[in-house]
Amino acid sequence: MPDDRRLIQQLKRGDKEALRHIYQDYKDDLLTVAASLLHDACAAEDVLHDVFVSFASGVGSLELRSSLRSYLMTSVVNRVRDRFRQKGSLVTGLDKVDAFSSENDGPEQRAVLTEQSRKLAQALAQLPLEQREVIVLHLNGGMKFREIGELQGISPSTVQGRYRYAIDKLRTILNGALRK
């Protein structure tokens, strides 16, 4: 993407506006991905922080091979995986009731979303990490299967397989959750 490259060039010269621009563009998506993977908003913010600080530090030797989005998402995923590998490092989430929101929703929709988003989040949590990564990176992170494949070290068709399998599983879990 030409915009990415221009921003990176400016960044390499130390242009803080460029860094801010990148941060504003990607922060929410990165946070959503981190939180969906970790099931923990607080830890997700930590991950976001680490990703950007590390990004800014390494800008001198940065060579973008893919899109900036893909690069930053990979960074998030690596940090999330690190956290899972360290035993006992998970922290309990905040005591707040969740509410995923969309700016365009009215109050009714927000209430519905609340209920729905909670169920979704719970369903997502039941997926194995690799499947969760595929779903979240694709739908919340805006990554293409090809890029996810590179991240996970598998072919795009295997990514597709994981994705379909995961959607099916989510559907099954949610169908069950509705039968009350």
Restricting to residues 147-166, which ones interact with other proteins according to CB under 8 A?
154, 156-158, 160-165
For the segment 86-105, give every residue that binds other proteins (CB under 8 A). Answer: 87-90, 92-102
Shortest distance, position 69 Cβ to other proteins, whole Å: 14
- Per rule CB under 8 A, is residue 145 in the interface with other proteins? yes
- Per rule CB under 8 A, is residue 65 in the interface with other proteins? no
**What single-letter amino acid sits at 44?**
A
Tally DSSP H helices, then E strands, for the chain.
Answer: 8, 0
- Per rule CB under 8 A, is residue 8 in the interface with other proteins? no
Helix (H, G, I), strand (E, B) or coil at 101: coil
For 31, which DSSP code?
Answer: H
Q: How many CB atoms lie within 10 A of CB 61?
A: 7
27 in Cβ contact with 51 (< 8 Å):
no
For the segment 27-56, give every residue that binds other proteins (CB under 8 A). Answer: 27-28, 31-32, 35-36, 39-41, 44-45, 48-49, 52-56
Closest listed residue to residue 31, CA positions, set 117, 91, 100 = 100
Shortest distance, position 65 Cβ to other proteins, whole Å: 19
- Per rule CB under 8 A, is residue 60 in the interface with other proteins? yes
Shortest distance, position 48 Cβ to other proteins, whole Å: 6
10 in Cβ contact with 60 (< 8 Å):
no
